[in-house]
Every structure is written in structure tokens, then in C-alpha cells.
Amino acid sequence: MDGMSSPGYRPTPAAASQLNLRGAVDLSSLRRPAAPPVPAAPVSGQGETPENGTPPAGETGQAPLRVDATESNFQDLVQLSAQIPVLFLLWSRYAPESPAVLDAAERVVEGYGGRLVLAAADVDAFPQLAQAFQVQAVPTAVAVVKGQPVPLFQGPADDEQIRSLVEELLKVAAANGVTGSIGDAAPGEDTEPAPLPPLHQAAIDAIEAGDYAAAAAAYKQALLEQPADTDAKAGLAQVELMARLEKLSAPEAESLRDLAAKEPDNVQAQLDVADLDISGGHIEDAFNRIITFIGRNFGPERETARLRLLELFEVVGTQDQRVAKARQGLARVLF
């Protein structure tokens, strides 16, 4: 995950200040199964920690602030992130720091009165969760806000460090309209989120069904009706990237990198590798690859590369600092 490769990484105020909403992780890789998912059992914050590092589960009379993330409830938790931030703590019984970090994260989350939820993910039991977040070491914490991953920290962290990052996370969430809280509604009050516009909902449904072409068509229609629909524009760029990546197998990916290295002026090879870099979290590598191609080529291929770069800006998020830097690089080679 971008900026998270070092096992010794620890959260700092500087890291917290750079939190941004959009990342390069494809959270759709774990689509909801056909059968209804089994809700995760709430886990209490009291009691002794067993030898396997998992605090005991228990029923409480309140909505749980911690759940055990599984492959079945993953997409439900991602959907919940449209209302409140969900802090995924990926842990392993083989990582000695995991129990202490889990306990610290749970204490911090409980202190915010339902403004966020902790989702504890056992990567030994559910390795696909680690793959979805491209985790390289555990424990690792990644928040999700409006379906987008926000890397927090990797390795050991105490209450104060986690609380500092959570404060920044809540600012990011608020800036994107995610300000809900568990237990806000009075008994019997409707707690359902506002429905999405029909075309947006059609796109989400198509993505969950794995029909990226239908999702793209829905977003394109939304843009025809409302050209200023920024969510549809970003959604279209993201789903088109997902569709391109779905066609690439691991052996093909390796051969594409070899081809791109041998043929630096092969526009399709450069764009394919840029897609792979984006999906792997190597944002700046992807941007720099396309900018370099644009700088040494002219004609229709240059324009093809420029348009793809603009699409990838939407995938990452136009307010991301890496996008701002890449825009400056693009301007230099164009003008």
C-alpha cells in the first residue's frame, strides 16, 4: 500500500495530516456473495484476551462499535462507511504486536461514542481481506470512508498515536459529508441513508454483479443528464479501470512490464502498466510513466495518453496532493 511498505512505519502527526479520501485499492474485489451475508457478532471490550490474540465475543445491548470483519460482511462494512468511518485493523495471531494494537484501537474507538466502527480482520482466517487492502505486514490499520480506503498505520501503535490519526480521519470524513453516529436515531426512527440517484444505484448494483460495462453505461448516462456530476465522473473512471484490470492475468502483467521497458514509445503498453501501478498503490510511478511518454511523443498517441492520465486523476481523487504534483508535471511537458 502506498507509503506503507516499511515494517517499522509508525503513525506520526505528519502522516496524519496527509490523510486523503481516495486511494488505489480496489475494494470491489470482494463482492457480496449471492447468499445473504451473516452479520458479524459484536465483540465486547472487556475480559481477557485468549492466546490466539482475539478478544472474546459477547452480546451487548447496544450496536457494536467493534465487529469481526469477514469475507461475507466486508461489502456491508464498506457500505456502512458512507454513514460513519470504518477502521479496519488487520491482525494475525503470529504477529506479537497484534493483541496490544487491537486493544488500543478498541479503547480509542469506544471513546468516540459511535462516530466510527472498528472492524477487526484476522488475515490468517480471511487472507482475501489482506489482499483487498494490499497489506504487506500486520498489524495494519486502514480506514474506509464512502467506500474509499484511507491508510492509517502499520506496526505497533499506542492509544495516543491512534487517537491522533482518528482525529484526522474524522476531519477527512466530515469534509466528505460522513458525519453519522451509531445510536443517533431515536428508537423506531428511520436510520436508512438517503437513496442514491437511480443511475448511481444502478451502477453500484452492476459493480456488485461484476458487470462493469453496465456500471459504466449507467455513469455515462448520469453524465449526459448532469455533466457536472463529479461523483459520476469519478465513478466512471474507477469502473473503467476495474474493467481493464479484470482482463489482465498475473503472467500477462509481467509480460506487459517487460514490453513497456523494451518499447517506451508503445502507448498501450505504457498505459497498461500505469493501470497496474495504480492498482498496486504506486500512484506517482503511474503518473510519471504517462507524463514521460507525453513529453517525448506527439500526435494522436500523445492525446490518448493525456486523456488516460486525466481519468487516473479522477480515480485517485482530484484533490490528492499527488494529482496536484502530476498536473504540474503534465503542464511542463505540454507547454
65-97: pLDDT as tens digits: 899 999 888 988 988 998 999 999 999 999 999
Strand partners, 120: 68, 89
Q: Find the mean pLDDT for residues 316-331.
A: 89
Q: Give the rounded distance of the alpha carbon of 160 from its chain centre.
A: 24
Tell whether 238 and 167 lie within a shared domain.
Answer: no
Tell whether 130 and 257 lie within a shared domain.
Answer: no
The answer to whether 317 and 24 are in contact (CB under 8 A) is no
Q: Is residue 118 part of a domain?
A: yes
100: buried, middle or exposed (CB in 10 Å: 19+, 13-18, 0-12)? Answer: middle
- In the chain, the number of structural domains is 2
Q: Is residue 44 part of a domain?
A: yes
Q: Is residue 190 part of a domain?
A: no
Q: Is residue 5 part of a domain?
A: no
Rg (CA), the chain: 21
Q: Is residue 53 part of a domain?
A: yes
Q: Is residue 188 part of a domain?
A: no
Kindly report the CATH number assigned to the domain that includes residue 162: 3.40.30.10
Q: What percent of the chain has pLDDT over 70?
A: 77
Q: Find the mean pLDDT for residues 192-219.
A: 87
Strand partners, 119: 67, 88
Tell whether 143 and 259 lie within a shared domain.
Answer: no
Residue (of 236, 316, 302) closest to 270 by Cα position: 302
Query: Range of 92's domain?
Result: 13-175
Q: Give the rounded distance of the alpha carbon of 40 from its chain centre.
A: 21
Assign 187 a pLDDT band (cuts: 50, 70, 90): very low
Task: Put residue 32 in one of left, alpha, beta given phi > 0 → left and psi -120 to 50 → alpha.
Answer: beta
Q: Is residue 73 part of a domain?
A: yes
Kindly report the CATH number assigned to the domain that includes residue 228: 1.25.40
pLDDT at 214: 95
Strand partners, 87: 118, 143
Among 127, 144, 175, the domain boundary falls at: 175
pLDDT at 20: 47
Tell whether 215 and 322 lie within a shared domain.
Answer: yes
Tell whether 40 and 136 lie within a shared domain.
Answer: yes
Tell whether 43 and 139 lie within a shared domain.
Answer: yes
pTM of the model as a whole: 0.49
pLDDT at 23: 42
Each residue of 234-255: pLDDT tens digit?
999 989 998 998 887 667 777 8
Tell whether 155 and 254 lie within a shared domain.
Answer: no
Among 132, 160, 175, the domain boundary falls at: 175
Q: Is residue 187 part of a domain?
A: no
Tell whether 140 and 215 lie within a shared domain.
Answer: no
The answer to whether 81 and 144 are in contact (CB under 8 A) is yes
